[in-house]
Structure 1
């Protein structure tokens, strides 16, 4: 039994809960005080380097989420009609945990290769993926500031593949998709906060992804959102050292592998 039972279907919850979680979690970061001593970049750098104002970022994220929600509902309907889903009995917690782990690996694999290709293909980078890199200094609300087509390829189709391959139910998928959204927002938050569990558990974290958004790292650290496996296996891993800036805050500096 879950709190939305009787009000929303699991399919609808799997589509709309991640959107709500995105704005709640990203909004939490947005309303925090400046926290200059934990920032990966100074506020001056954010103002000077970012190429798009926050108002357009918010509009871009909302547009992407509208497109994704529409396509996600269509995909749920098609997979259900095709008999690819329909499992309603929840597995044990151990099995669900394994399914989520499998889904994490599938999503990482899909997103690594699509993301990397968008950097290698000049047309795709110029007309699609470069939109995300207008935020040279990432922040939480801009985590999903992508071209709508990129959102479909990376997130919607990657999520659908993870869901189908793992064999999880729609109800388990709600947990997985919300977790993936929280992790993605955290990777773009621009803050190195003490005690952040994602920084302790995952090597692919805020500093790791910050390297990718910098000029010297655009051809490295493609992995998202969970592990750094493919970067390390395929030679696109750029290690870094996290150092304190004299004026406060932190800086992720690339080091030789």
Structure 2
């Protein structure tokens, strides 16, 4: 058997493929006027406020995804990967697993991912060194757009996103196929949080109405860097620890929407 098995490839590559496909759809729609009435930032804002070029963003995301893929393969190898057919992680992918069991594992993974990312994200803002050296890369994009969701310094990307995913995988006991579905779902949610478009018919925005692109837009604003750290699913840690900032969505002059922090 080769170094990388089929299910390891699925876990590693499916989120990457979906990332570029889903963000590409947003980019295609955004190039027309179809979503202009729902945009949180004008095209001019994207051109003038963002300090990272789209070329640099693409290169940064690809670098993070390459590192993430390598770590994913390593974690899967350490936990058995395709070789483990019973008694371990892969056993939880079997058709005998009940819906409730799968849902419970997804719930654990979501909770672990959320907790890890909240506290690491907050640490990145609390430490002047960590922010300036690493996390400030992500905030070079002041007016977020879809394929900038995973634009991070490689160290920030590993500590905040890659290791949180590994922890969620290990804590939940999901097998490779279930993990592939979970990470694709988390990837889609992360893109929606950064897409800069708030459409009322987006089912993800309906389900996660408290944590959506408007909620995260507050964090990217110049006055919101110490608020709304929660990502990607819930806002429980922000509410419990006093870092939650409310917001109002208003019509923007010239068309579109804008997010206003409500204190």
Deviations along 1:93-129, one digit per CA (max 9) or x if unpaired, are 2211121111111100000000000000111100110
Give the TM-score of the pair, scaled to structure 1.
0.93
Give the structure 1 partner of residue 94 of structure 2: 89
The Cα shift of 1:84 comes to: 6.5
Q: Any stretches of 5+ residues in structure 1 without a counterpart?
A: 1-6
16, 21, 25: which is aligned to 1:19?
Answer: 16
Give the structure 2 partner of residue 146 of structure 1: 152
Give the structure 2 partner of residue 4 of structure 1: none
Give the structure 2 partner of residue 217 of structure 1: 224
Give the structure 1 partner of residue 76 of structure 2: 76
Secondary structure of 2:259's partner?
strand
Secondary structure of 1:242's partner?
strand
Give the structure 2 partner of residue 38 of structure 1: 38
Counterparts of 2:185 and 2:90 in 1: how far apart (Å)?
22
Give the structure 2 partner of residue 200 of structure 1: 206
Counterparts of 2:66 and 2:253 in 1: how far apart (Å)?
43
Secondary structure of 1:18's partner?
helix
Deviations along 1:141-166, one digit per CA (max 9) or x if unpaired, are 10000111111112211111111111
- Mean Cα deviation higher: 27-36 or 112-121: 27-36
The Cα shift of 1:140 comes to: 0.2
161, 164, 174: which is aligned to 1:158?
Answer: 164
Give the structure 1 partner of residue 233 of structure 2: 226
Q: How does 1:106-255 map to 2 (within 5 A)?
A: 106-202=112-208, 203-255=210-262
What is the Cα-based RMSD across aligned positions, in Å?
1.7
Counterparts of 1:187 and 1:39 in 2: how far apart (Å)?
13
Secondary structure of 1:104's partner?
helix
Counterparts of 1:165 and 1:54 in 2: how far apart (Å)?
36
The Cα shift of 1:79 comes to: 2.4
Deviations along 1:148-195, one digit per CA (max 9) or x if unpaired, are 111111221111111111121111111100000000001000001130
Query: Is the 2:134–2:156 Cα contact (8 Å) retained in structure 1?
Result: yes
Counterparts of 1:246 and 1:55 in 2: how far apart (Å)?
30
The Cα shift of 1:131 comes to: 0.3
The Cα shift of 1:86 comes to: 4.1
Secondary structure of 1:195's partner?
coil
Q: How does 1:53-64 map to 2 (within 5 A)?
A: 53-64=53-64
The Cα shift of 1:43 comes to: 1.1
